[in-house]
Amino acid sequence: MELYLTAFQQAISALWAYKGRTLLTMLGIVIGIGTIIVMVSIGQGANQAIQDQINKMGTNLLYAISGSSKKGGVRGGHGSQPSLRLKDIDAIRRLCPSIKEISYQINGAVQSVAENKNWGSPLQGSVPAYASITSWTLQEGEFINDRHLKTVANVAVLGSVVAENLFEPGSSVVGRKIRLKNVPFTVIGTLTSKGRTPDGRDADDVVIIPYTTAVRKIMGRALPGMVHFILVSAHSKELVPRAKWEMEIALRQSHRIPENGDDDFIVGTLDEFADAATESTAIMRLLLIAVASISLVVGGIGIMNIMLVTVTERTREIGVRMAIGAREKDILTQFLVESITMSVVGGILGTVIGIATSRVISEIAGWPTIISPESIVIATFFSGLIGIFFGFYPARKASRLDPIDALHHE
């Protein structure tokens, strides 16, 4: 142990004696490790941003929409034959143990009229579970509850865009009256802003009323029990694929689709959006890390080169050490410690510069970056590995010198 400590002290003083040369040699490692730290922090920041976006939509979500229809050889597109009904909801409740919460809705468009302003927006006839599934919180007031649903109440919850366009900004809107298709409604809450949905719509431009109210009082043409969109949450992320399978079986059964018949509905998951986005950042990151790794290898070769020079320059010293009793292992250790010290110090410098650079990038470009402790530990460990790998050959060469030749080296 003490030999290692002495070897380390000697390594430091030997490296310090040639400061400029040591610094230049370390540069390859500094740049390589620095680049990796920056790339990983940007990649993790991007992933986190995507994950946040997805969490904002709600977690572990699946949806079902009506599928295509075929009538006398004419195939309509998706939703051409609204096939989802309230009885499907009951079937899902009965047959899908992996599903935690179910929300269903009917969609339309509506012109909302307040005292002196009006605003056209999508309308959603929804149920209480919608808010919890999408983790959508309220800015003010409350969401639709079961009593509203049962009593077909004339209540509305407004998205922030609708609220801003109907009422003076900053004023409380709970309890205010609006009219939808000449039916009076009381505003019971406003939603917090969510920004854009993955398909580019403004999620906040919406009026939400109870499903029953929408079917019976607003959507004149709607078939009784018709559902446009079913949104469910699975108990966990792992259960999402299973929940999808259960839901397909439940819907096929509910729609009495024969064994070989085509589905008249589509079940999908929101993770599909996320996977695509994560994959593209991962590929980008992998490419950049590959480039950084090449710079690490080049840096390692630089270390090997300078260690070979050092061994040649200090051949005489090696001979003296051998004469007074250094064994092969002692000489090997001494030069390995030297190359490891050089690469680890380079790695630490690279890490510090990498962290600083990520901060600057965050600041200037506005990209989120995350420095994880793991990446620092891995970077340090990896630079140590480079020191061992590229330092081994020169150190072994030193340890194998013949003591007499080494002593008489000029």
Partner 1 sequence: MPSPIIQLEGIRRIFPMGDETVEALKGIDLTIHEKEFVAIMGTSGSGKSTLMHIMGLLDSLSEGRYNLDGEDVSAISRDKRAEIRNQKIGFIFQSFNLLSRSSALENVELPMLYRRPAISGRREKALKALEMVGLENRSDHEPRQLSGGQQQRVAIARALVNEPPIILADEPTGNLDSRTGDDILGLLTSLNEQGITIIIVTHDPDIGGKAKRRIVLRDGNIEQDETN
Where do contacts with partner 1 occur on this chain (CB under 8 A)?
A: 2-3, 6, 10, 13-14, 17, 316-317, 319-330, 403-404, 407
Which residue, 60 or 315, is less far from partner 1 as judged by CB? 315
Pairing of strands 99-113, 118-126: antiparallel
For 189-248, the DSSP string reads EEEPP--B-TTS-BTTS-EEEEHHHIIIII-TTPPTTB-SEEEEEESSGGGHHHHHHHHH
DSSP 261: P
Which residue, 271 or 330, is less far from partner 1 as judged by CB? 330
Which residue, 259 or 410, is less far from partner 1 as judged by CB? 410
Q: How far is the CB of 332 from partner 1 (least distance, A)?
A: 12
Q: How far is the CB of 409 from partner 1 (least distance, A)?
A: 11
Q: How far is the CB of 8 from partner 1 (least distance, A)?
A: 13
Q: How far is the CB of 320 from partner 1 (least distance, A)?
A: 5
Which residue, 223 or 404, is less far from partner 1 as judged by CB? 404
CA angle (43, 48, 52) in 5-degree steps = 150
Q: How far is the CB of 341 from partner 1 (least distance, A)?
A: 15
Which residue, 7 or 173, is less far from partner 1 as judged by CB? 7
Q: How far is the CB of 393 from partner 1 (least distance, A)?
A: 19
Which residue, 194 or 314, is less far from partner 1 as judged by CB? 314
d(CA 166, CA 178): 9
Q: Single out the residue of 164, 167, 65 nearest to residue 107, CA to CA.
A: 65
Which residues, in sequence order, are bridge partners of residue 74? 71
CA angle (352, 357, 363) in 5-degree steps = 130
Contacts of 409 (CB under 8 A, 6+ apart): 315, 316, 319
